[in-house]
Amino acid sequence: MKIRNNGNISVLHSAPLDLLRAEVLSHFENIPQEQHDVPTALPYLSFIRFTRPTELSRGMLEPSMCLVLQGTKKVLIGTEITHYGSGSYVLSAIDMPISGQVVEASVAHPYLGIRIDLDAKEIAAQIIESKLSIPKNSHSHAGAYVEESDVELQEAFLRLLRLLKKPKDLAALAPLVKQEILYRLITAKDGDVLGQTVLAHYQEKGVNQAIHWIKTNYAEPMQIEKLAKTVSMSVSNLHHRFKAITIMSPLQYQKQIRLLEARKLLLSGNIEAATVAFKVGYESPSQFSREYRRLFGASPLQDMEYLKHHELDR
């Protein structure tokens, strides 16, 4: 397991970041501390706040980026743990199972973040319209990564947030500012990862189709040979390309989704672990319990008892 400290883990101060913090904090006025997310008039934009550190949580990160404005966080992507703080962002170009934890936050200095949902079609259109050249790296990257923002990206976000106070201008100008944000993300230091992943969505549809099939049919038995045939790829090529993007094999990806869905079912109400095991595709409750413990650090029963007495930080 690799541990990497982003160079920006200490609180970064810049004029745009200070203004962004003030803007986001204003949206949490009169909002209970227990509420961690605040939506905005733009459906793809939301704000995040935590007033204390959180437990390590596992989940599926949908295509999005989250810019940290205050506090520090760590994220586990594959086998690499990255610590990052104010001015940095985590970006996922595809649906990625990851683990995350807010490690520095308080009532006086809460963890603050801006989340923007990403759309592959919009990013591809930005690449084409801007005539951007996406270099091919000789080494493989996963579809999720941590990057440090520059002043230009911070200023673009500041303009977007200020538009929220100008409803008459929002519809006309927000799309333009969003285009700039996408441009800044694509042309950032590791932006080629975003560009390559999005272009692969169209140029190498096999992996994307495989991911979609697994997400839709996670409870069904999966034979890698049949899946490869379904997406018109060889077994070796599917395995190689799938792991290059998601940092895991198709079977490992399916297992992560099954266990995440199982946890949701257990949290939703009174349902026995054995029943949940069968619902998500396990034939053996004992195997389900072993793999659940391996992922979440406790048996299904112990995990539910813990979560009943502790807030589940999502």
pTM greater than 0.95: no
* pLDDT at residue 153 is higher than 60: yes
Question: In this predicted model, what pLDDT tens digit does every residue of 80-137 receive, in sequence order?
Answer: 889 999 999 999 888 888 889 999 999 999 999 999 999 888 888 888 787 777 766 5
pLDDT, tens digit, for every residue of 180-214? 999 999 988 877 778 877 776 665 678 888 988 99
For residue 9, pLDDT over 60 is answered with no
Q: Does 77 or 7 have the greater pLDDT score?
A: 77
How far lies 41's CA from each of 22, 38, 130, 250, in Å? 18, 10, 27, 37
Instruction: Tell me what pLDDT residue 4 has.
Output: 59
Q: What is the pLDDT of residue 202?
A: 60
Report the distance separating Cα 91 and Cα 77, nearest Å. 11
- Give the model's pLDDT for residue 108: 94
Q: What is the pLDDT of residue 124?
A: 82
Q: How confident is the model at residue 139 (pLDDT cuts 50, 70, 90)?
A: very low
Tokens 């069968």 belong to 278
Q: What are phi and psi for residue 137, nearest 5 degrees?
A: -80, 145
Compare 67 and 189 and report the one with higher pLDDT: 67
Section 18-30 average pLDDT: 95
Average pLDDT (12-33) is 89
Phi-psi region of 146 (alpha: psi -120 to 50; beta: other; left: phi over 0): beta
Half-sphere exposure of 131 (CA within 13 A, CB side): 0
Q: Is the pLDDT of residue 72 over 90?
A: yes
Residue 284 φ/ψ, nearest 5 degrees: -125, 115
Write down how long the chain is.
Answer: 314
* pLDDT in the model for residue 10: 43
Band of pLDDT at residue 284, cut at 50, 70 and 90 = very high
